[in-house]
Amino acid sequence: MSVVEHMREKLAALEPQRLDIIDDSAKHAGHAGAREGGGHYRLTIVSTRFAGSGTLQRHRLIYEALGPMMRREIHALSIQALTPDET
């Protein structure tokens, strides 16, 4: 299973209405994190689970869902977390 597929599987817990993951790892070849195996990703996720939550709370939910991936497979993650009303 690819890292993106694994991320999709983990983030399904947040019941996303939209989930876009872009692997930008190739743009960071030679970077310390890339040499250690961690990739660079851009995430756009839309979920009703973010309603009433601020940016920090939304990011925490995402980090919790991804769990240990944040320490191994993912070196950098750019996040856009929105509710359906914010799209």
Task: Give tens-digit pLDDT for 9-56.
Answer: 999 999 999 999 999 988 766 655 555 667 899 999 999 999 999 999
State the pLDDT at residue 27.
77
State the pLDDT at residue 3.
94
Which letter does DSSP use for residue 70 in this model? Answer: G
Write out the H or E segment, with its range, that includes residue 21: strand 18-23
Residue 17: partners with Cβ closer than 8 Å, 6 or more residues away: 46, 47, 48, 84
Alpha carbons 27 and 46: distance in angstroms, whole number: 25
Residue 55 tokens, joined:
């940016």
Domain ranges of the chain: 3-86
State the pLDDT at residue 25.
86
State the pLDDT at residue 74.
93
Of 67, 25, 65, 21, nearest to 44 by C-alpha is: 21
State the pLDDT at residue 38.
79
Asked if CATH classification 3.90.1150.10 holds for the domain at 3-86, the reply, yes or no, is no
